[in-house]
């Protein structure tokens, strides 16, 4: 039976009461994991080229994401020590596994004081082996998204984790927000299954248009874990609202996750008429949008030591 990660991401808007409501709603709707993001706005890096972005001949070369506005937005999403303890305790009471994303090397020691057994690594750090080494020393199980990551980076990380006998799961992910169904490229799951016995899918499709079709299709491909953004708010009440499912859709997804794989494969073409459009290729080039997002998000956060940035892929 596949597992479901309800990714709260930014949908709690920094509100502890809302965070608590979301934990219980996710639990009651069938989630196995509930995930937050341990963001520290002070780790946000200033990089001049993103202040105004770059457009050449009408083509976007560098995205625009000014530091100050991003810092202020992220600052509102920070969770304190007490908030982290509260989150973990409420997850335990609700019968779900608490999970978070570690964004910098400096955060590893901080997060290790909490009783996580599993830690999530974001797509843009899939190839950041120095960060992954530190996380591997502190936590039992790593869940690693592979979006906007080159195959040689994925394979280097897998080789390292295998060399230390570390338990890990790879998630197929397309870093296009939202992801059109015909760009989900679910055959990548087959590629990842050659590298790891545990493979899942992080779904960023547009909920209003496509519901949980991509997640159902990924389950039919044999995904062991589905990660979906989750909300109890209206879609326009948070940044991630448009790609976030509500409790009703989470309940439906959890029921599909319980189905036997062969039964689901018999039904999938009826449930998801676009299924064949979603196959794609096992091996593919990153799209221009993915490369733009990689350029920004890989290095968005870094450890600050003596006034100098140390990026996650750099040795100290």
In tens, the pLDDT along 31-83 reads 999 999 999 999 999 999 999 999 999 999 999 999 999 999 999 999 999 99
Assigned domain for 144 exists: yes
d(CA 178, CA 187): 19
pLDDT for res 190: 98
Assigned domain for 247 exists: yes
d(CA 316, CA 133): 12
Residue 13, domain CATH: 3.20.20.70
Assigned domain for 316 exists: no
Give the total number of structural domains in the chain. Answer: 1
Distances, alpha carbon 259 to alpha carbons 32, 74, 224, 256, 278, in Å: 15, 38, 12, 5, 21
**Mean pLDDT of the residues in the chain:** 97
pLDDT for res 240: 87
pLDDT for res 71: 98
pTM: 0.96
Q: In the predicted model, what is the mean pLDDT of residues 176-189? A: 98
Report residue 135's pLDDT band, with 50, 70 and 90 as the boundaries: very high
pLDDT for res 26: 99
Assigned domain for 315 exists: no
Assigned domain for 204 exists: yes
Check pLDDT > 90 for residue 10.
Answer: no
Q: In the predicted model, what is the mean pLDDT of residues 139-161? A: 99
Q: Which range marks the domain in which residue 154 is found?
A: 3-310
Assigned domain for 58 exists: yes
Assigned domain for 276 exists: yes
């Amino acid at each position: 039976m596949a597992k479901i990660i309800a990714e709260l991401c930014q949908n709690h808007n920094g509100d502890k009461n809302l965070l608590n409501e979301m934990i219980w709603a996710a639990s009651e709707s069938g989630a196995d994991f509930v995930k937050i993001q341990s963001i520290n706005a002070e780790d946000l890096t200033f990089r001049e080229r993103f202040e105004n972005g770059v457009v050449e001949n009408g083509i976007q070369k560098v995205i625009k994401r000014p530091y100050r506005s991003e810092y202020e937005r992220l600052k509102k999403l920070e969770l304190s020590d007490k908030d982290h303890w509260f989150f973990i305790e409420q997850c335990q009471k609700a019968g779900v596994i608490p999970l978070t994303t570690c964004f910098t090397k400096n955060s590893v020691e901080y997060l290790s004081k909490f009783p996580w057994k599993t830690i999530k690594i974001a797509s843009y750090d899939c190839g950041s082996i120095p960060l992954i080494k530190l996380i591997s020393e502190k936590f039992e199980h790593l869940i690693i998204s592979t979006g906007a990551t080159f195959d040689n980076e994925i394979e280097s990380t897998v080789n390292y984790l295998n060399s230390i006998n570390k338990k890990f799961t790879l998630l197929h992910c397309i870093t296009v927000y939202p992801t059109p169904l015909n760009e989900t490229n679910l055959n990548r799951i087959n590629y990842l299954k050659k590298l790891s016995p545990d493979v899942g899918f992080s779904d960023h499709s547009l909920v209003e248009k496509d519901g949980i079709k991509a997640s159902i299709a990924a389950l039919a491909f044999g995904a062991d874990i589905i990660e979906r953004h989750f909300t109890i708010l209206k879609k326009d009440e948070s940044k991630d609202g448009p790609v976030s499912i509500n409790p009703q859709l989470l309940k439906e997804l959890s029921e599909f996750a319980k189905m036997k794989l062969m039964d689901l494969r018999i039904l999938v073409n009826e449930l998801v008429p676009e299924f064949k459009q979603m196959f794609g290729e096992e091996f593919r080039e990153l799209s221009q949008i993915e490369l733009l997002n990689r350029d920004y998000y890989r290095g968005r956060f870094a450890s600050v030591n003596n006034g100098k940035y140390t990026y996650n892929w750099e040795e100290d």
